[in-house]
């Protein structure tokens, strides 16, 4: 089997402090500054968000080397100049990547 591909892989959208949001809309509703930036990752295992905050999932401080397949920092929630590089587009791409990794690893 392809152990290096096994998941399940998950696309995660988080603010600068590592707090996770369910969707881009959720982030827009809960992040105070509409011009703020988010992080989008594709993760599994030790890199999955956990409940350290008591109220909202948060990205872990450390992870095993192979548990993060993709990370994109400083993505604008709202990019008025080019929506193709904003959070909506990048999060959709990360979700597609996670689905592809799950299919390739047999965890569809």
pLDDT digits (tens, 9 = 90+) for 27-82: 999 988 877 899 999 999 888 888 765 667 888 877 787 898 889 999 998 877 88
Residue for token pair 């993060």: 68
Q: Which domain holds residue 74?
A: 10-104
Pick the closest to residue 47 from 66, 63, 61 (CA basis): 63
The mean pLDDT value for 72-96 works out to: 90
pLDDT at 6: 81
pLDDT at residue number 39: 95
- Residue at 3 is within a domain: no
Residue 5 belongs to a domain: no
Record the pTM.
0.86
Look at residue 4 and tell me if it is in a domain. no
2 inside domain:
no
Residues 6+ apart with CB under 8 A from 86: 75, 76, 77, 78, 79
Mean pLDDT within 82-100: 92
Least confident range from 15-19, 20-24, 34-38: namely 34-38
- The torsion region of residue 74 among left (phi > 0), alpha (psi -120 to 50) and beta comes to left
Q: Domain for residue 1, yes or no?
A: no
Q: How far is the C-alpha of 8 from the C-alpha of 44, rounded, in Å?
A: 6
**Closest by Cα among 66, 51, 65 to 18:** 51
The count of domains in the chain is: 1
Please say whether the dihedral angle defined by the alpha carbons of residues 68, 74, 26 and 78, taken in this order, is positive or negative: negative
């Amino acid at each position: 089997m392809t152990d290096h591909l096994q998941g399940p892989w998950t696309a995660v959208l988080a603010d600068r402090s590592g707090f996770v949001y369910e969707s881009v809309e959720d982030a827009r509703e809960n992040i105070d500054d509409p011009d703020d930036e988010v992080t989008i990752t594709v993760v599994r295992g030790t890199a999955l968000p956990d409940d350290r905050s008591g109220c909202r999932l948060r990205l872990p401080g450390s992870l095993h080397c192979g548990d993060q397949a993709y990370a994109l920092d400083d993505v604008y929630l709202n990019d008025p100049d080019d929506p193709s590089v904003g959070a909506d587009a990048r999060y959709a791409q990360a979700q597609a990547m996670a689905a592809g990794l799950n299919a390739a690893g047999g965890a569809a």
